[in-house]
Amino acid sequence: MGIATDSLADMDWQAALAALAWQVDMGVHEAVCDQPINRYDLPESLAPAPRAAVSAALKAGEAAPPAMPKALDIPAIARMAAGRAADLASLRAEMEAFDHCELKKGARNLVFSDGNPAAPVMIVGEAPGRDEDYAGRPFVGRAGQLLDRMLAAIGLSRGAEAPEAAFYITNVMPWRPPANRDPTEEEIAMMQPFLRRHIELVNPRILIAMGNTSCMALLGQRGILRLRGTWTEAEGRPVLPMTHPAYLLRNPAAKKDAWADLIGIKARLAGDGP
């Protein structure tokens, strides 16, 4: 049942209100679509089968009951997409084409990575912020500038051509979360297959898990202030959890521990670390 929209356009508001009240009185309680459909005009093939015919067919076992829509297994879709990527360029393309993460809708750019993929050190951050979302590159804001200075202190830079003097950097999430909120566990889980493939393709000697989101994605746990500074293993290689540079900007006293962690990285790379 419905009112043709062209006749609606001719009505004044009292008439439209009266027509609406009439429909409510007649038991209409839901708007199904914007345009009314005159089902008497539909060709037979498109007209819905009369209800009695459907229940008779169901009773006779001729028609299957309507299937409940199945929930998509998004991490499985992500695993398949990530598995198709044979190199970093195709991994990036697979991530660009992945439409199951809500964060993508609110982001300007996919933030994939920066630095030298031949470097022995791969840093995994959390998620892009506003500056990274604009630039399409990870860690370019204030926290990123601090990170660059920290790594420069042990002789590493993202721009270095010589792999041994370089680092490579990415994030768990390639899209900026609204208002810089923490990514949810569901979001982390759906992007984890891409991160794992990213690590496989870069194949760094060591990983740095920078902050809680990164520890969640790589180690399955949070608690960066407890985890930091202790080498562990993930994705078949050593991982050092470190406090995020954004935390260090807010808590300068924690820079002392971060410095100890940097010395640990340098020693590891020289082959005489723990």
Give residues in contact with ligand URA (CB under 6 A). 125-129, 132, 138-139, 141, 143-144, 171, 211, 246
The residue among 204 and 211 lying less far from ligand URA, judged by its C-beta, is 211
Tell me the closest approach of the beta carbon of residue 211 to ligand URA, in angstroms: 6
Residue showing the smallest CB distance to ligand URA in the complex = 125
Given 3-state DSSP classes, what are the helix, strand and coil percentages for the chain, each rounded to the nearest 5? 50, 10, 40
CB of 135 to ligand URA, least distance (A): 9
* Residue 36 CB, nearest approach to ligand URA (Å): 51
Nearer to ligand URA, 84 or 250 (CB): 250
**Residue nearer to ligand URA on the CB measure, 5 or 180:** 180
**Which helix or strand (DSSP H or E) is residue 25 part of?**
helix 13-25
Nearer to ligand URA among residue 15 and residue 265 (C-beta) = 265
Which of 142, 139, 133 is CA-nearest to residue 168? 139
User: 123 forms bridges with which residues in the sheet?
Assistant: 169, 208
* 162/158 Cα distance (integer angstroms): 10
Distance CA(15)–CA(153), nearest Å, equals 77
CB of 213 to ligand URA, least distance (A): 7
The backbone region for 233, taken as left when phi is positive above 0, alpha when psi lies in -120 to 50, beta otherwise, is: beta
Residue 23 has a CB neighbour count (10 Å cut-off) of 15
Helices 88-97, 185-202: inter-axial angle, 10-degree rounding? 160
In the complex, least distance from residue 169 CB atom to ligand URA, rounded to whole angstroms = 8
Of 84 and 142, which has the nearer Cβ to ligand URA? 142
Min CB(243)–ligand URA separation in Å: 12
Decide: 243 and 211 in contact? Cβ < 8 Å. Answer: yes
Residue closer to ligand URA (CB basis): 83 or 178: 178
Structural tokens at position 138 = 């990870």
Which residues 6+ apart lie within 8 Å of 28 measured at CB? 1
